[in-house]
Amino acid sequence: MRVYLPATFAMLTGLNETGKMPVRSGWGFAATPALVEFYTAGDEEEIGYAAYLDAAEASLRLLAIGDEEAFPHRRVVVSVDVDDSAVTLAPENGESVVALSPAVIELADVAAIHIDIEESEEATKAAIDAIDAADLGDEDAELTVGDAQENFMAFYDPTELPFLIELL
């Protein structure tokens, strides 16, 4: 199953150094049956993209913690392919939410890495500042988060990880 994991650049650095990355709180996002049911139209790719966007939004929450030093205003999503037996559906937490067990992924499981580009940092910073208010229903904050969600995230192949860490 393809699972989208919210991450930070520091987490990518750890993945590069150890070949493993803990899944923060054990949660990821996927095109689950509940998400498919939620969308009355759309193909598998579009529904997967909705799960990916959920992971990108969750990355904002990780950045809001404030412990990312290198790139505090860049969302990161790591796409992984894991065996279905490692995934537990958790629709009570959101249509796309899944729990991973074990809550650690191997570099070999990584299908793609997505990172905000430099030009997106201002919108991402504003979204980080607004994410809690958006969660509480503040419409202006929701628009701010939506603006960041519309920004392009660059795609990297997993084989590019060492160069990404070194050159970014």
CA-closest candidate to residue 124, choices 70, 65, 75, 66: 75
CA dihedral 23, 24, 25, 29 (to 10 degrees): -70
CATH fold of 2-115+151-160 reads ADP-ribosylation fold (3.20.170)
Domain boundaries, the chain: 2-115+151-160
> pLDDT tens per residue, the chain (168 residues)?
999 999 999 999 999 999 999 999 999 999 999 998 998 777 888 999 999 999 999 999 999 999 999 999 999 999 999 999 999 999 999 999 999 999 999 999 999 999 999 999 999 999 999 999 999 999 999 999 999 999 999 999 999 999 999 988
pTM, full prediction: 0.95
Residue 6 DSSP class = E
